[in-house]
A and B are shown apart, each in its own frame.
Chain A
Amino acid sequence: MTMHGPDITWYLALSGMMFTIGAIGVLVRRSPLIILLSVEIMLNGANLALIAFSRHFGHADGQVFAIAVMAVAASEVVVGLGLIVAMGRRNIELDVDKMRTLRG
């Protein structure tokens, strides 16, 4: 199987852009749902870099870690969505700037 496609630089650039877009979303948006979705974009940017390096070095270790990252992302979504549902059930406004009970 021989393919001269884009080399790893292009994948890294794309991965960096996705991470940046996700980071901006986490920092700028205030809806916890959108923040969770932006975190997913950041994790996927990191996953793309892992898989690109795995292809670059010819070892599948990077793919193994990408799958571990996917498991962690799924766990994070479960807990995050659980918190959001609990907020919604108690009629707390879905706005992270209003959640300041724990602020010192």
Chain B
Amino acid sequence: MIETASPQKTALFDLHVAQGGRMVDFAGYELPVQFSGIVAEHEHTRTQASLFDVSHMGQITVSGDDDLTTLSALEAIFPGNLKNLKPGGMRYTVLLNENGGIEDDLIVTRPADGQAAKGTIFIVVNAARKHHDLAVMQLELGGQLSFELHEEKSLLALQGPMAATVLSNLCDAPLKLSFMQSMPANIKGIACQVSRCGYTGEDGFELSVASGTAAKLAQVLYEDERVQPAGLGARDSLRLEAGLCLYGHDMNDEIDPVSANILFAIGKQRRTDGGFVGDDAILSLIKQGVKNTRVGIVFEGRMPVREGAQIINNEGKQIGTITSGTFGPTFGAPIAMGYVPAAMADIGTPISALVRGKSVTGRVTQLPFVPQNYARKPGI
């Protein structure tokens, strides 16, 4: 893996700077952490539509003989049920190691009919893991499939309850797609792939586009006054309120998907059949139960309880750890996710955490903190 010393610029860098973005180095990319302010951007995403630059994420194309052959082969390394993906269908799953630890979380997309060469499958992975993932895929499946990481593509995420209305003025994708479906589109002459997904808990779309036309596409979207730029800060508070895990924080290569409470990343039949890297570990965890599990916690008062804070028992002994936490702008209270002993995972269980040496009280709370607002059927 080659890491460049100075962070890379995305195709939207100049636009971010012109819009007043405060740029930071994130996973090797210069990206905006905020524009007008995290809370304002967060609220705008919950009520209107925000545009996020997620071009740092890894866009990988997998090629095989035909769609089913490629998907079947990928099932050897991903526990998701991929073979039953329909054309234009998308699936959230994970890459596991032999111990069942999560190497990355990702989305597999089967292109719509006629969109790509037979046997082509798209995968989007986390920025910090893309070279690692590519190496693992090539090592495990290089004999049957070929893999290409598209550094020349950008990825824009239009998120919020107005996203579908905004996009429907530019293409018919919102009328054709429901949550976790994807299709090619042409927006004012710009070819892109539109997927109805995102990581904010709101309805929204991710637009994959050649980097050469990415800034133009963003400008077209900004012509609609309802669309405002949003940065990494709002992206983080939005996904936490939506109860979504962030790789490297709420999950890592020592945490398995059963403990992480993302069993939906593993196909139902595959939870008994196995047939994927890490299956021995996962199947036995499903059978025997996990020691610790990820829960949502709401704390009393206003003080944020952040990543790394110890969860303690009545004797002050550490029994768990907070993996994400902030003051939820929409929720209006300190919210967090963390790992606790499985016996303490029931909704309403009192939780104590240590912040700057002081104990704060909270309760295990249903995830998501803020209801998800996904489009269960096509339309606006």
A, B: real partners: no
Q: Chain B residues in contact with chain A, CB under 8 A?
A: none
Q: Chain A residues in contact with chain B, CB under 8 A?
A: none
